[in-house]
Chains A and B, each alone.
Chain A
Amino acid sequence: MNSLIPLLVAAPLAGAALLLLGGRALDRFGHWIATALAALSFAFGLALFADMLGRDAEHRAVTEQLYSWIPVDGFQADVAFQLDQLSITFVLLITGVGTLIHLYSVGYMAHDERRRRFFAYLNLFLAAMLVLVLADNYLLLYVGWEGVGLASFLLIGFWQHKPSAATAAKKAFIVNRVGDMGLSIAIMLMFVEFGSFAFQPVFATAGDASEGKLTAIGLMLLLAACGKSAQVPLQSWLGDAMEGPTPVSALIHAATMVTAGVYLIVRSGAIFNLAPDAQTAVVVVGAVTLLFGAVVGCAKDDIKKALAGSTMSQIGYMIMAAGLGPIGYAFAIMHLVTHGFFKAGMFLGAGSVMHGMNDEVNMRHYGGLRKYMPVTFATFGLGYLAIIGFPGLSGFFSKDKIIEAAFAKGGTEGWILGLCALLGAAVTAFYMTRVMVLTFFGEKRWQPDAEGNDPHPHESPKSMTVPMVVLAFGSVFAGGLFVYGNSFLHWLEPVTGHAEGDSPLSPWTVTGLATACMLAGAALAWQMYGRSPVPVKPPVGSLLTRAARRDLLQDDFNHAVLVRPGTALAATLVWFDSRGLDGFVNGLAAAIGGISARLRRIQTGYVRTYALSMFGGTLVLVASTLLMRSV
């Protein structure tokens, strides 16, 4: 059974290779190959899951050694996969949502002439992401980490003929590189400290290392997580990443890849548990980002960017939960899975709306779409109810658990985190209600597109609506299933451990407060956008609104603090190079050239001159010989 584990990765990898190398012959049906291989990988995942359920909790984790990658004395790097409860959760999410989004893309990308390449990249992403979550050591995890970064870059810039898409892809790649540097430094620190970077030995001996070293490793891992999961201060790439095709935004920039940071922190729990300072940094990053993303989401008129702000904010919840330690690990992963369902579903819904509205993304040009796109409205609506935490739906349970865990941290810290989380819940309800109302309710504010065609909204084809319906089911029922008998908690407990916190508030009080916050946020949004007509031109807005429209000045900040000094430094170095170094080298060359020009005058071309020099030379030789003789 364990031999199936490498096949999980091999199936999509083979698909990517086949589609990229297969050429135009595969243009007509290549996308079905990719979808079938993604589904095959999901089937393998289900088989392994069923197999794992058959064993008792202690024996569920298995390791499958594939081959020795770098067998050097004192440096052992293996290609080995570890399948435990945490990895299989991710495997099922990645391949399951991945398969649905492959299916959706069949309809969404139907008219794109580079469709085969798109599906190849999607398969490549699946393979890399599976390597990331299945790796049993940090080095192999790093391979997957870079692989998903590459796939993300290729897919954000998929419509590379648009300069904005090409720039966004570069931005995502460069910002991610800062985070990747953190991961590589963390791996080096681990190797120096523990002599290994495999999970087993590192976690087993983590207690022997000094707290300072563990804090350093933890902070570097946090930097990596910030890059990949778009957390403050490396969050600026996610909004621009929405330049990619919408299925990509759903799969990579909402459901799976951006959650890799949460996985990394939860997986490295053994290190963070022993480094309280690093944990504090993690919760601070999470809490700041959950408010940051939520505020940005409130001001955006671009539906995908509003959802991107929301993604950032929800991942902030997960990171915060992961930073709480054993009281939060399982809930971080639980929210990650439910978020995977409802956010992917909502992105697919947004794609469906764009599909029907001539690729319009400005929500101020939507309105009243619920009659025209009933399936999209229903699935998006269920996702909406799930994310704001409507009682009974997925997000209600998973977010509630995180808020409880935040309070359970105890002390002033617990109060601050809990109130941040509650405030975040209210803002979440506000911006999601705003998206919902602007898109599906109110009067029509449709505008003709650039060519002057009026939009004729229509429901999307079956291949697009079916994945949305399936994800909507997940949005509704996943949370309830997970908390029923604390099944999810018990499932992950052998890997992540669990501790009950000491909450100052009873669970029912927290639930009541969260629901009240949610209702208040939603009501405020309804008051602002539902009861009065929405202007097509955005009003000037308050200072905060204007700042939030510019992503709370994140790009201005990066520009002023990083780009401009960097450019100045580069200019100084260029000056030094061109004036200093080049001056010296060029001067040397000019001197040699000048001397040579003078020396070559000796070569006159006259035979008699050469003859004279030969005579002269002979005379000198003879004279010196005679002189030497006589001495």
Chain B
Amino acid sequence: MNPANYLYLAALLFTIGASGVLLRRNAIVLFMCVELMLNASNLALVTFSRMHGNLDGQILAFFTMVVAAAEVVVGLAIIVSIFRTRHSASVDDSNLMKL
């Protein structure tokens, strides 16, 4: 099978994730969309690794997973604490960071 198809799939998944981040308001969904983007890029990296016949892409994919895991831990904690204080998971409600 042509490896390019995996790249198309990765692009599709990334686009879905990016659209979700930009369009959805629920913090949890937003978060899942970010994960989708990360995984899409992982897929792309692995595909490139396969296409070029070296392990660079796969190693980078491992790094991405570690970073994603750390991000989930910190991000979920922030979302939960915001939900506790503001009783809302909508990112548009937390808009105090402006002049």
B9–chain A nearest beta-carbon distance, Å: 19
Q: Is B84 an interface residue (CB 8 A)?
A: no
Interface window among B38-46, B53-61, B63-71, B89-97 = B89-97
Q: Contacts of A607 on B, CB cut-off 8 Å?
A: 30, 91-92, 94-95
B99, A611: Cβ atoms closer than 8 Å: no
Contact residues, A226-263 vs B (CB, 8 A): none
A615, B91: Cβ atoms closer than 8 Å: no
A63 to B74, CA, bound (A): 87
A608, B98: Cβ atoms closer than 8 Å: no
B31–chain A nearest beta-carbon distance, Å: 11
Q: Is A605 an interface residue (CB 8 A)?
A: yes
A600 to B98, CA, bound (A): 8
Q: Is B73 an interface residue (CB 8 A)?
A: no
Choose from A600, A606, A608 the contact partner of B99 (Cβ within 8 Å).
Answer: A600
A605, B98: Cβ atoms closer than 8 Å: yes
A605 to B99, CA, bound (A): 8
A496 to B96, CA, bound (A): 88
Q: Is A612 an interface residue (CB 8 A)?
A: yes
Contact residues, A605-621 vs B (CB, 8 A): 605-608, 611-612, 615
Q: Is A604 an interface residue (CB 8 A)?
A: yes
Chain B interface size, as a band, is 10 to 19
Contact residues, A585-631 vs B (CB, 8 A): 600, 603-608, 611-612, 615
Q: Is B10 an interface residue (CB 8 A)?
A: no
With CB as the reference atom, state the residue of chain B lying closest to A600: B99
Q: Is B13 an interface residue (CB 8 A)?
A: no
A603–chain B nearest beta-carbon distance, Å: 5
A604, B22: Cβ atoms closer than 8 Å: no
Q: Contacts of A612 on B, CB cut-off 8 Å?
A: 22
Choose from B23, B94, B95 the contact partner of A604 (Cβ within 8 Å).
Answer: B95
Given A608-B91, A608-B92, A603 and B99 contact (CB-CB distance below 8 Å): yes
B64–chain A nearest beta-carbon distance, Å: 16
Q: Is B21 an interface residue (CB 8 A)?
A: yes
A606 to B92, CA, bound (A): 6
Choose from B21, B30, B95 the contact partner of A606 (Cβ within 8 Å).
Answer: B95
Q: Is B18 an interface residue (CB 8 A)?
A: yes
A372 to B94, CA, bound (A): 95
B96, A608: Cβ atoms closer than 8 Å: no
A604 to B22, CA, bound (A): 15
Q: Contacts of B96 on A, CB cut-off 8 Å?
A: 605
A605, B97: Cβ atoms closer than 8 Å: yes
A575 to B63, CA, bound (A): 69
Known: A600-B99, A605-B98, A607-B30. 16 other contacts (CB 8 A): A600-B98, A603-B97, A603-B99, A604-B95, A604-B98, A605-B96, A605-B97, A606-B92, A607-B91, A607-B95, A608-B22, A608-B25, A608-B91, A608-B92, A611-B21, A615-B22
Spell out B's residues near A (CB within 8 Å). 18, 21-23, 25, 30, 91-92, 94-99
